[in-house]
């Protein structure tokens, strides 16, 4: 309480005393013992009211005990059950949870992890991927300001994400690994990795690279071979020793027919091998008979061009050539799509040639675009020429209907530089992104597509799209989402198929350990996205004849069916909307491969290094007798007494209001009782 506040309270006391004496000493002619009581009550009332008006503030301190948190994270992947350790893990978790010494000292928080990290309610050991690094990334913020040692129950084998030995540095607390699995080293041959392109072209040969690994001390030989159906298409004898324990095999295979071709790579196992699952691996390749050639025509050098080339060529079915305007005329028949980047007066012949042969085009404008040329060489839109630059941020249109587009969190993307002024379209257009200026969404298109007869075009009104690709990487830790977005635009522009009310998005084949998802968009007769439609998918296993039917779930501006639990095999499917009002069919192949079954041993060395680097200890699940006592007796994890100091104003103390009411009530009652009122 400040000195000034104390002075105010003293003045309030003096004023209250003067008021009480004036009321019952000076003004009253007859004095009695009651007069002093009345004066005292009046003093209390007036003084309390004045103090409330001054409203001094007091420090209120409360104390509480805070126990440290014990974070128990359990590996919920299939490798635990494959190593026959699931019952041991269940028993250990029950022991830890029910141990009174631990619960007395710690607040116990349970998590499980596979592909993602979740709170633990039940353990199924059914996750097809293990991402240990996500555990540390997700929980580092949760326990940033508390004392929270972690007990991680895992075999230490990671199949997804960054190296957890380095990402563990984000978690600023000791990490105690409980190592699951067999630590005995067995002789083992395995296919460590198989590298192959996703697409191949008809009548060509495609390369395959196999990395083979031997774990053992003896000199051994085996045979590596690749089959398709019952036919062997490649065979090679491989020799290994303790020193020469890995081989890289490179070869090519012919692509003789269009469609998805499935292969099986195998290395013949040793007689003493314990795990033979990792001796084979299936792979597939889609053979296509044509390639989409895209030309980026530009008269300037700009980072946008490189970003577009990289995004488009992530799909191996597409090839990009960057050429000058004067080079296009002699190569015009080589391209199915042209991207005109910031046209100027050198593009006159390019527009004439495009109009002559009817090639689809994607126009990208910017600060170096000559709009007088662009306005005169086409009639689909007209830009008001102001010679002023404006920055526009994107706003996603959820009702875009030409193909499935996902929101990439466009609102977080940096603005593009463009010509200030309105664009007037002379044809019907479909807007993908609207312009946003100063957080105000306008009805002006930033990115739009339109169709004129059998021709398709797109228009992007802004440069520096390379910043979008960079921002997408920051948002999603990958370029894939942005590249897929550009790829869908290119796919739409490179095709002249009629618009469909039901659009599907899926891959021809999936790895057995990856997510299998089919997405769809359905539009009403006005080609507006229908969020109230009923979509179902019916899948048939081509080998067994089993049929599965399930609904597609609405997610934002698309419907999705998660088929990740399907067994490996070939499937045909049909997606129907509103009881058959619209249907689309297709086929997929799921490869027989389980990455969690490729491990024979726990990664003991890495888990022990993890414990050492975080100033902790590691334990084997068969020898955890000292685990509980070590945690309980570790002086780093002690209960801490903390205090909260709050500044509380006097008006929050309700007893003062009660005192005012009580003093007024007593004064009134006594005066009434003695006939003074």
CATH for 149: 3.40.50.410
Among 257, 288, 319, give the residue marking a domain's end. Answer: 288
| Contact between residue 149 and residue 70 where contact means Cβ atoms under 8 Å apart | yes
Among 595, 627, 653, give the residue marking a domain's end. Answer: 595
- 470 and 404 both lie in a single domain: yes
CA dist list (Å): 338 to 34, 159, 320, 361: 104, 40, 10, 5
Residues 590, 595, 597: CA angle, nearest 5 degrees = 115
- 58 and 77 both lie in a single domain: no
- 330 and 470 both lie in a single domain: yes
* Residue 61 bridge partners (DSSP): 645
Rounded to the nearest 10 degrees, what angle do helices 33-54 and 654-673 cross at? 150
3-state secondary structure 164-189: HHHHHHHCCCCEEEEECCCCCCCCEE
d(CA 468, CA 676): 85
- 283 and 296 both lie in a single domain: no
Q: Which parts of 438-545 are beta strand (E)?
A: 440-452, 455-461, 502-505, 509-510, 517-522, 535-541
Q: Is 112 exposed, middle or buried (0-12, 13-18, 19+ CB in 10 A)?
A: buried
| Contact between residue 566 and residue 540 where contact means Cβ atoms under 8 Å apart | no
d(CA 113, CA 73): 7
Local structure of 352: helix, strand or coil:
helix
pLDDT of residue 201: 83
- 483 and 345 both lie in a single domain: yes
- 208 and 277 both lie in a single domain: yes
- 337 and 455 both lie in a single domain: yes
d(CA 251, CA 206): 9
At 483, phi and psi to the nearest 5? Answer: -60, -35
Q: What is the DSSP string of 383-450?
A: EPP---EEEEEEEE-TT--SS------GGGSPPEEEESS-EEESS-EEEEEEEEETTEEEEEEEEEEE
- 202 and 179 both lie in a single domain: no
pLDDT of residue 29: 58
- 198 and 309 both lie in a single domain: no
Q: Which strand ranges, in their side-by-side order, compose the sheet holding 280-288?
A: 199-201, 280-288, 259-267, 220-228, 231-240
At 438, phi and psi to the nearest 5? Answer: 55, 45
Ordered mean pLDDT values, 10 residues apiece, the chain (677 residues): 78 82 69 74 83 77 84 91 87 90 91 91 86 90 90 90 88 93 78 86 88 88 91 92 90 88 90 83 84 91 94 88 92 90 92 90 93 90 89 89 84 91 88 90 91 88 94 90 92 76 84 83 77 90 90 87 86 90 89 75 89 92 87 88 75 74 82 72
- 369 and 508 both lie in a single domain: no
Q: For 379, which DSSP code?
A: S
CA dist list (Å): 506 to 260, 492, 503, 530, 588: 14, 15, 10, 20, 8
pLDDT of residue 32: 64
- Radius of gyration (C-alpha) of the chain in whole angstroms: 37
3-state helix, strand, coil in the chain (%, to 5): 30, 35, 35
Q: Is 213 exposed, middle or buried (0-12, 13-18, 19+ CB in 10 A)?
A: middle
| Contact between residue 133 and residue 158 where contact means Cβ atoms under 8 Å apart | yes
Q: For 22, which DSSP code?
A: I
| Of 120, 135, 117, residue with least CA distance to 173 | 135
| Contact between residue 535 and residue 550 where contact means Cβ atoms under 8 Å apart | no
> What does DSSP say about strands 455-461 and 360-365: parallel, antiparallel, or unpaired?
parallel
| Of 56, 51, 53, residue with least CA distance to 4 | 56
Q: What is the DSSP string of 129-141?
A: ---HHHHHHHHHH
- 275 and 302 both lie in a single domain: no
Cα 148 to the center of its chain, rounded Å: 25
Element (H, E) at 613: helix 604-613
For the chain, what's the residue count?
Answer: 677
| Contact between residue 632 and residue 185 where contact means Cβ atoms under 8 Å apart | no
Q: For 523, which DSSP code?
A: B
| Contact between residue 99 and residue 631 where contact means Cβ atoms under 8 Å apart | no
CATH of the domain at 355: 3.40.50.880
d(CA 107, CA 102): 8
| Contact between residue 369 and residue 345 where contact means Cβ atoms under 8 Å apart | no
d(CA 128, CA 568): 13
d(CA 114, CA 160): 9
d(CA 522, CA 26): 91
* Residue 315 bridge partners (DSSP): none
d(CA 617, CA 570): 48
401 C-beta neighbours (distance < 10 Å), count: 22
- Which domain range does residue 208 map to? 188-288
- 297 and 444 both lie in a single domain: yes
Domain count, the chain: 5
d(CA 457, CA 365): 14
Among 288, 322, 340, give the residue marking a domain's end. Answer: 288
d(CA 325, CA 298): 6
Q: What is the pTM of this model?
A: 0.62
Cα 355 to the center of its chain, rounded Å: 43
CATH of the domain at 220: 2.60.40.10
- CA dihedral (181, 183, 187, 189) positive or negative: positive
């Amino acid at each position: 309480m400040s000195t000034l506040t104390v002075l105010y309270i003293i003045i309030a006391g003096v004023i209250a005393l003067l008021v009480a004496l004036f009321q019952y000493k000076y003004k009253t002619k007859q004095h009695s013992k009651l007069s002093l009581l009345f004066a005292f009550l009046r003093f209390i009332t007036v003084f309390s009211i004045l103090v409330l008006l001054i409203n001094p503030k007091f420090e209120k301190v409360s104390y509480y005990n805070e126990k440290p948190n014990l974070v128990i994270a359990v590996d919920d992947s299939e490798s635990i059950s494959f190593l026959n350790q699931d019952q041991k893990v269940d028993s250990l978790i029950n022991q830890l949870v029910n141990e009174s010494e631990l619960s007395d000292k710690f607040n116990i928080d349970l998590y499980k992890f596979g592909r993602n990290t979740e709170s633990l309610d039940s353990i199924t050991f059914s996750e097809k991927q293990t991402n240990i690094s996500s555990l540390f990334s997700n929980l580092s913020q949760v326990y940033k300001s508390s004392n929270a040692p972690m007990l991680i129950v895992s075999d230490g084998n990671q199949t997804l994400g960054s190296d957890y030995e380095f990402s563990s540095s984000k978690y600023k607390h000791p990490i105690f690994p409980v190592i699951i699995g067999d630590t005995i080293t067995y002789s083992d041959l395995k296919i460590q990795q198989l590298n192959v392109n996703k697409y191949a072209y008809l009548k060509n040969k495609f390369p395959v690279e196999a990395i083979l690994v031997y774990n053992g001390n003896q000199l051994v030989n085996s045979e590596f071979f690749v089959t398709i159906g019952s036919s062997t298409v490649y065979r090679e004898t491989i020799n290994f020793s303790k020193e020469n324990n890995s081989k890289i095999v490179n070869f090519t295979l012919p692509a003789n027919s269009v469609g998805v071709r499935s292969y099986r790579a195998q290395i013949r196992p040793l007689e003493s091998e314990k795990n033979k699952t990792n001796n084979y691996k299936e792979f597939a390749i889609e053979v296509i008979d044509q390639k989409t050639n895209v030309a980026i025509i530009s008269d300037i050098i700009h980072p946008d061009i490189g970003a577009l080339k990289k995004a488009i060529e992530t799909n191996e079915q597409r090839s990009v050539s960057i050429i000058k305007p004067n080079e296009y005329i002699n190569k015009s028949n080589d391209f199915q799509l042209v991207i005109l980047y910031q046209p100027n007066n050198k593009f006159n012949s390019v527009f004439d040639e495009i109009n002559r042969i009817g090639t689809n085009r994607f126009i990208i404008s910017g600060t170096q675009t000559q709009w007088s040329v662009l306005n005169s060489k086409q009639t689909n839109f007209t830009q008001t020429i102001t010679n002023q630059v404006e920055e526009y941020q994107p706003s996603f249109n959820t009702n875009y209907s030409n193909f499935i587009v996902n929101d990439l969190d466009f609102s977080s993307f940096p603005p593009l530089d463009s010509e200030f002024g309105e664009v007037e379209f002379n044809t019907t257009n479909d807007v993908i992104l609207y312009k946003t200026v100063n957080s105000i969404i306008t009805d002006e298109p930033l990115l739009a597509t339109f169709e004129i007869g059998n021709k398709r075009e797109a228009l992007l009104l802004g440069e520096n799209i390379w910043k979008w690709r960079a921002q997408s990487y920051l948002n999603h830790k990958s370029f894939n989402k942005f590249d897929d977005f550009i790829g869908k635009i290119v796919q739409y522009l490179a095709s002249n198929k009629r618009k469909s009310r039901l659009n599907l998005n899926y891959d021809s084949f999936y790895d057995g350990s990856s997510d299998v998802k089919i997405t769809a968009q359905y539009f009403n007769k006005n080609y507006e996205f229908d969020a109230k439609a009923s979509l179902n998918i019916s899948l048939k296993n081509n080998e067994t004849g089993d049929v599965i039917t399930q609904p597609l779930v609405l997610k934002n501006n698309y419907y999705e069916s998660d088929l990740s639990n399907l067994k490996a095999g070939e499937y045909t499917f049909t997606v129907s909307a509103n009881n058959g009002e619209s249907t689309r069919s297709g086929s997929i192949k799921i490869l027989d491969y389980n990455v969690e079954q490729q491990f024979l041993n726990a990664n003991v060395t890495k888990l022990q290094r993890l414990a050492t680097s975080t100033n902790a200890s590691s334990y084997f699940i068969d020898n955890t007798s000292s685990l509980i006592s070590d945690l309980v007796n570790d002086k780093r994890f002690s209960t801490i007494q903390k205090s909260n100091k709050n500044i509380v104003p006097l008006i929050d103390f309700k007893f003062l209001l009660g005192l005012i009411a009580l003093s007024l009530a007593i004064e009134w009652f006594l005066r009434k009782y003695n006939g003074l009122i």
